[in-house]
Amino acid sequence: MEALLKKELGTSRLKPSGHAGGGCISEGKSYETDDGMVFVKMNHKNQARQMFEGEEASLKAILETGTVKVPKPMKVISLQNGGAVFVMEHLDMRSLHRYSGQLGEQLAELHLHNQRQREREKEEEQTIGKAARQSVDKFGFHTTTCCGYLPQMNDWQSDWVAFYSQQRLQYQISMVMKTYGDREVHELWSRLQLKIPQLFTGIKVFPALLHGDLWGGNVAECAEGPVTFDPSSFYGHSEFEMSIAGMFGGFRSSFYTAYYGKIPKAPGFEERHQLYQLFHYLNHWNHFGGEYKGSSLRLMRNLVEHLSA
């Protein structure tokens, strides 16, 4: 693997730095190269290349906004015996502490970036008659991204409720059905899907670029500010981002105060929050098995019971 890395990176020097960072999905290791330190993630699954290409595209999209710091992506390389590696800039990181509030602000800036771009274009259209369209007016992404190692459908759709119901929840539920044949999930889903539009009454959702997997294990800080990594981006409802953040903890109150100071909670936030957490519980059920079954079904029952017939 190291000979392949040397060749692909065009470096004569490739020395393990001693920094290793294994997550739940891939193994990670840093190396010193001719051009500085790199962090290399390796995964032997067949779908590793697709997973890393999605991460690479996500990092590029977030970098382009200039809002929140992420490692610069460098290269996805296929391994001979299946699997792939992903090379990116190495960042010296420690647990998020001092810059928690700044992360909240910067995340809100990321979420507002596309809308502000659209507003600038509208002004230009009014003053000079035309504007080069860079803003995104649909939900989805230009490529598949993976939350964990499972691919997410990102086909562009104008209607957020349809996108989220079909490409996020339905997709996960179909996978649960295929793997576990669970009848209760099927029965609850047939009732829940009819009620989802109620949760969006009076709400206008504008596509926001999301990190997509913002749990406490994917945020940190460098000497000069906060950093996030391992994204699975798409354009979606900004509220979706806050769902996994709350599931496993790791975010201080200063993070939430700063974020909601810029993007206040809209009416009905709490019910939609449950709907958005449902995706992550189902995705965990599909990744890690039955220990997430109980929490997924509980959430579904709760949503079905609290929404009117």
Ligand X SMILES: Nc1ncnc2c1ncn2[C@@H]1O[C@H](COP(=O)(O)OP(=O)(O)OP(=O)(O)O)[C@@H](O)[C@H]1O
Q: Can residue 230 be called a binding residue for ligand X (CB under 6 A)? A: yes
216 binding ligand X? (CB under 6 A)? no
Rama region for 32: left / alpha / beta (φ>0; ψ in -120 to 50; rest): beta
The reply on whether position 57 binds ligand X by CB under 6 A is no
Considering the complex, what minimum distance in angstroms separates the CB of residue 260 from ligand X? 25
Rule CB under 6 A: say whether 212 interacts with ligand X: no
Torsion sign, CA atoms 256, 257, 258, 262: positive
14 in contact with ligand X (CB under 6 A)? no
Report the site for ligand X in 131-160 (rule: CB under 6 A). Answer: 148
Q: Which is it for strands 36-43 and 27-33: parallel, antiparallel or unpaired? A: antiparallel
The type of residue at 278 is: L
Distance in angstroms (rounded) separating the CA atoms of residues 19 and 183: 46
CA dihedral 240, 241, 246, 250 (to 10 degrees): 170
217 binds ligand X (CB under 6 A): yes
Please report, to the nearest 10 degrees, the dihedral formed by the alpha carbons of residues 96, 99, 101, 104 taken in order. Answer: -70
From residue 82 to residue 121, the character string flagging contacts with ligand X as x (rule: CB under 6 A) and all else as - is ------xxxx-x----------------------------
The answer to the question of residue 56 lying near ligand X (CB under 6 A) is: no
Site for ligand X (CB under 6 A): how many residues?
Answer: 19
Binds ligand X by CB under 6 A, chosen from 229, 235, 240, 251 = 229
Asked whether position 259 contacts ligand X by CB under 6 A, the answer is no
Of residues 135 and 228, the one with the C-beta less far from ligand X: 228
Q: What is the DSSP string of 155-185?
A: --BS-HHHHIIIIIIIHHHHHHHHHH--HHH
Q: Report angle CA 119, 258, 278 to the nearest 5 degrees.
A: 85
Active site residue 137: no
Work out whether 25 is an interface residue with ligand X (CB under 6 A).
yes
**Hey, what amino acid is at 136?**
V
Q: Answer yes or no whether residue 28 interacts with ligand X by CB under 6 A.
A: yes
Nearer to ligand X, 1 or 194 (CB): 1
Query: Counting contacts by CB under 6 A, is residue 218 touching ligand X?
Result: yes
CB atoms within 10 A of CB 222: 13
Set 155, 159, 182, 213: catalytic member: 213
21 binds ligand X (CB under 6 A): yes
One-letter amino acid at 160 equals: W
Stretch that binds ligand X, among 16-24, 99-107, 157-165, 184-192 (CB under 6 A): 16-24
**Residues facing 88 on adjacent strands:** 39, 73
Only one of the segments 24-32, 74-82, 174-182, 236-244 lies at the binding site for ligand X (rule: CB under 6 A); that segment is: 24-32
Question: What's the closest the beta carbon of residue 92 comes to ligand X, in angstroms?
Answer: 7
Nearer of residues 93 and 278 to ligand X, judged by Cβ: 93
Find the shortest distance in angstroms from Cβ 90 to ligand X: 4
> Which residues have a Cβ under 8 Å from the Cβ of 282 and sit 6 or more positions away?
169, 172, 173, 176, 292, 296
Rounded to a whole number of angstroms, the CA Rg of the chain reads 20
The residues annotated with a catalytic role in the active site are 213
- Residues in touch with ligand X (CB under 6 A): 21, 23-26, 28, 30, 39, 71, 88-91, 93, 148, 217-218, 229-230
